[in-house]
Amino acid sequence: MAVQGHAINYALEKAPVSHVVWFYLKLGVQHIIPFGTDHILFVASLCLLSTRAKTILWQATAFTVAHSVTLALSMKGILVAPGAVVEPVIALSIMFVAIENMLLSELKPWRIAIVFLFGLIHGMGFASALNEIGLPGNQFYTSVLSFNAGVEIGQVIVIACVFLPVIIPFGKRTWYRKFVVYPASILIALIAGYWVFKRSFI
């Protein structure tokens, strides 16, 4: 018998595949927009390091690969971490990236590695949220892939909301870092710092 690491969503056990796909796709999007404020701030922070689309793409890819792996492993029960550890680290990852945005202006190799490591933690956070809903036991991969696709759609929307109205029109201006990157990064770091404290001690 296979090890069952996730809660069962009995309501969708006999649902058509198309219903399952749509349900978890929508759930994935909603986990980012509008309910994933912490993930929104993390992805937005990735966009503030540089105005180059290539820089954003490298970071987004590392983040996506990482959280996809831990999401699947966590839902299978292979990789388990308590929320009391995962949630403060997610907040810490947001604060770290926001602070680094103020110290760097170009992509460094260690930034990719750090984003990947934090992506692994975020994947566990996604799994925790998904496990509250549960998965139909006979459509595990369909459900997880659909949810993950929804998360990716949500992330693309966040990137587009930063890149199109902010980076494209203002990214080349001499005042961009001083009046956009620094204030935004400071605000994000302060919010994340509050979350670190709240999730760790309250």
C-alpha to C-alpha distance for 6 and 182, rounded to whole angstroms: 41
The sign one gets for the Cα dihedral 98, 101, 106, 108 is: negative
How many Cβ atoms are within 10 Å of 16's Cβ, its own excluded? 9
Task: Tell me the C-alpha to C-alpha distance, in Å, between residue 68 and each of 65, 153, 168, 185.
Answer: 5, 13, 29, 26
Q: Which residue has the tokens 């605000």?
A: 187
pTM above 0.85, yes or no: yes
pLDDT at position 145 is 94
Which letter does DSSP use for residue 82 in this model?
A: -
C-alpha to C-alpha distance for 82 and 193, rounded to whole angstroms: 20
Question: Is 116 within 8 Å of 62 (Cβ atoms)?
Answer: yes
C-alpha to C-alpha distance for 19 and 15, rounded to whole angstroms: 6
C-alpha to C-alpha distance for 45 and 199, rounded to whole angstroms: 20
pLDDT at position 143 is 93
Question: pLDDT tens digits for the chain (202 residues)?
Answer: 334 456 788 788 888 999 999 999 999 999 999 999 999 999 999 999 999 999 999 999 999 999 999 999 998 888 888 889 999 999 999 999 999 999 998 888 899 999 999 999 999 999 988 888 888 878 889 999 999 999 999 999 999 999 999 999 999 999 999 999 999 999 999 999 999 999 999 7
pLDDT at position 1 is 30
How many Cβ atoms are within 10 Å of 64's Cβ, its own excluded? 18
Task: Tell me the C-alpha to C-alpha distance, in Å, between residue 131 and each of 2, 7, 18, 199.
Answer: 17, 6, 20, 20
Radius of gyration of the chain (CA): 18
Residues written for the chain: 202
pLDDT at position 6 is 66
Question: Is 36 within 8 Å of 154 (Cβ atoms)?
Answer: yes
Structure tokens at 149: 């696709």
